[in-house]
Amino acid sequence: MIRRADCLVLGAGPAGTEAALAAAEAGLDVVLIDEQADAGGQGWRAPLGSLTLPRKGADAEAGDRLRSRLAASGVDRRLGRRVWSVGGAFRLDAVGPDGAEAYEAPRLIAATGAHERVVPFPGWTLPGVIGLAGATVLLKAQAVLPGRRVVVAGAGPLLFAVAAGIVAKGGTVAAIVDMDGRLAWARRLPGLARRLDLLKEGLGWTWSILGARVPFLAGHGVRCATGRSEVEAVIVGPVDADGAPIAGPERRFACDALAVGHGLVPGGEVPKILRAAHLYDRLRGGFIPELDPYGRTTIENLYACGDGTGIRGARPSAAAGRLAGLAAAHDAGRLDAAAFTALAEPTLQVLSEYRPFADTVAGAMALRPAQVAAIDPATVVCRCEDVSRAEIDAAVDAGASDINQMKHFTRCGMGPCQGRMCGDVAAELVAQRRGVTRETVGYWTQRVPLRPVPFDTMIGSFDYADIPIPPPAPL
Amino acid sequence: MSLWRATEGVTRPAEVTFAVDGTDVSAPAGEPLATALAAAGMLGLRDSPRGGTPRGAFCHMGLCQECVVTVDGRIVQACLTPVRAGMQVRLGGTLR
Ligand code: FES
C-alpha cells in the first residue's frame, strides 16, 4: 500500500514540524515522517514516555508546545519510521512498526537535521568516549549521566549545556576543556546579546558550572584519551585560536567518561541523493543545498530546511521550516501570491533577527582546519573501517583526487555509518593534502539505503508466487 | 566505569530482567539497551573489524553503528532498542 499525499515532510524536528504545520494549515494533505517515536528532533526531543522528570528545560518546553500544536493539526504523523530510500518525484520507502511502507507525493520537504563532528584524537574510539550531542540525549531524554566523573571537551555551546546538565543531575564534571579562549567568547558577546533570552540560558549554564567549581580550561584541546578497554583518563593541552596544539603544560584528568564534540555537520542526504546543487560553507558546517529565501532547492518541488541546510539552531530552523511549508503550499496553488507574502513576511523578519546570534553560535561550531591538520598519522579517522590518517594521506599521494576516489582507495567512509562520522574531517584531510578547496574534493556520493535496514523487513511479505511471469513467447 | 541513572526527582518504570551472553541484567523497561548495558558496566559492546579494538556506544542517536549487538538473533542498534523482559542479547563480533 502506498500512502499518497500532497506533500511529504521528512524529519520531525523544529524545521520539519513547522513546515508540515504551515503546509497543512494552507490546505495540503501532509505526511510527516520521522525515525523517532515523537516529534522534536534531537534538540527538542521528548523525554522517554515512561519517565517523570523533576523539571523541564526550555528546550523540552519548546518541544512540548510544538508537539501539542502538531497533535491538534491535520498533519498525518508517521513517527517511528526509518526511511531508507528516496527517489523519483517523490517517493519514500520506510520500515515501520508493521514492516515496509511507501509514501508518494508531488512535493517533498527535507528536514533531516545535522549530526556531530568529532575531530579524531588518539583514544577517541575507546568505550566511554561519547559525542556531546549523545550526552545531551542521555541527560535530557533519559535522565542518565555519561559517567561518575566526566570530562567535557570540544567547542561550541553544547559544551556548557552538557556540563551544566551533569552538574544539575548531581554528577561530577572533572573538567571543561574548551578549544576557544576566553577572548573568543568575549568577542562573541555582541552577537549573542542580540538574543537576550538565549544568552540568559547560556549564562544560566555558566552560573551552575561556576557554582560547582568545575575546572575550566579555555583555549585547550584533547591531546588523547587513554585506557585499556575503556577510557580512564584524558590528557589535554593548550591550542591556538585556529585549534592547532601549541607548546605548554599538559594536564591529565582521571575520568570514566569523555563527552566530546567539535560542532555539527549538516546531514542533508536527501537533496544530495536527488542531485540538487550544493555549495560549501564552512560557517554553516559543510556542504549545504543552494536554496532560495524560502527553502526551494534547485530541484523543482524539492524543499529543504533546518540544520540539514546549514547550522543555525532550533529556533531559526523552525522559522525556516515554516517558510518551506508556505512555499510548498504556494507552489501547489493553495496560497495565492498575496496570502503567501502576508504569511511569509513576518517569518522572514524573525529569521533575519536570529541571524547575528545564529552566525555567532555557528562560528564556534565550525570546522577548525588547523585542528584537522594536526591529527596524528596513526590516529583512526574512519571508525567503521579503522582507516588511519596516514592511509588517507597515502591514498591522496597515490593519486586519489577527491573524496570518493579516496574512499575507493582506502574503504574510509564505506562502513555501516556510511561516512557520517568521518566525512567532514576526511574531506578536509584530502583538501589539505592536495592543497585544493573543499569544493574540488566534494562530498560522498549518497546512495540508498539512507540508513541500514534488515533485508527481510525491506522486502516485506514477499513470495515467489507474487512475481508476475509473462507468458513465454510463442516458438 | 559506567553510566548512571539520576535519581533525584526521577521516577522510572519497574525494572525488567534480560540476558546478556547468559548473564542476567536488570534495567527499567523501555530504556535504550545501550544505556542499560553501559549502566551495568558493559561499555565495550564489540571489537572493530580491522584493528580489533574495543568499541561502545558513541553517538547514542542511531548514526554511528558502534553499538550494534544481537538481540534474539537479529542485529540491532542498542541505542535504538528498548529493553524488554527476557530478551537475549549477544555482544561481540557483530559487523565483523
Ligand atoms: S550509539 Fe551510535 S548508533 Fe547507537
Supply the pLDDT for residue A338.
97
C-beta atoms of B35 and A144 within 8 A:
yes
In tens, the pLDDT along A247-257 reads: 999 999 999 99
In tens, the pLDDT along A413-425 reads: 999 999 999 999 9
The answer on A278 and A408 residing in a single domain is no
Domain that holds residue A381: 375-441
Q: What is the DSSP letter of A384?
A: T
The domain that contains A393 carries what CATH number?
Answer: 1.10.10.1100
CATH 3.10.20.440 fits B15-90, yes or no: yes
State how many domains chain A has.
3
Question: Which of A4-8, A59-63, B23-27 bottoms out in mean pLDDT, i.e. has the lowest?
Answer: A59-63
C-beta atoms of A50 and B64 within 8 A:
no
The answer on A356 and A322 residing in a single domain is yes
Residues A431/A441, Cβ–Cβ less than 8 Å: yes
d(CA B33, CA B18): 10
The answer on A101 and A14 residing in a single domain is yes
Q: Which of B37, B55, B61, B75 to mutate to test the pocket of ligand 1 (most atoms within 8 A of CB)?
A: B61
Residue boundaries of the structural domains of chain B: 15-90
The answer on A227 and A177 residing in a single domain is yes
The answer on A6 and A108 residing in a single domain is yes
Average the pLDDT over A380-407 and give the result.
97
C-beta atoms of A128 and B54 within 8 A:
no
Q: Of A363, A383, A399, which residue constitutes the final position of a domain?
A: A363
The answer on A183 and A194 residing in a single domain is yes
Check if B16 contacts A (Cβ < 8 Å). no
Q: How confident is the model at residue B1 (pLDDT cuts 50, 70, 90)?
A: low
ipTM: 0.95
* A chain contacts of residue B28, beta-carbon cutoff 8 Å: 50
Q: Which of B79, B91, B95 to mutate to test the pocket of ligand 1 (most atoms within 8 A of CB)?
A: B79
**Residue, of A466 and B38, whose pLDDT is higher:** B38
* Distance of CA B58 from the midpoint of ligand 1 (Å): 6
C-beta atoms of B2 and A126 within 8 A:
no
Question: Which of A62-76, A181-195, A302-316, A342-356 bottoms out in mean pLDDT, i.e. has the lowest?
Answer: A181-195
Residues A227/A126, Cβ–Cβ less than 8 Å: yes
The answer on A231 and A136 residing in a single domain is yes
The answer on A206 and A106 residing in a single domain is no
A59 pLDDT above the threshold of 90: no
Comparing alpha-carbon positions, the chain A residue that sits nearest to B80 is: A36
Helix, coil or strand: residue A385? coil
Decide whether any atom of ligand 1 lies within 6 Å of the B31 Cβ.
no
The domain that contains A181 carries what CATH number?
Answer: 3.50.50.60
C-beta atoms of B11 and A380 within 8 A:
no
Cell representation of residue A299 = 530541484
The answer on A379 and A355 residing in a single domain is no
The answer on A276 and A258 residing in a single domain is no
Q: How confident is the model at residue A448 (pLDDT cuts 50, 70, 90)?
A: confident
Q: Of A230, A262, A294, which residue constitutes the final position of a domain?
A: A262
Cell representation of residue A137 = 540525549
* B chain contacts of residue A129, beta-carbon cutoff 8 Å: 58
d(CA A280, CA A252): 37
* B chain contacts of residue A115, beta-carbon cutoff 8 Å: 59, 61, 63
Comparing alpha-carbon positions, the chain A residue that sits nearest to B11 is: A52
| Domain membership flag for residue A100 | yes
Question: Which of A32-46, A109-123, A405-419 bottoms out in mean pLDDT, i.e. has the lowest?
Answer: A32-46
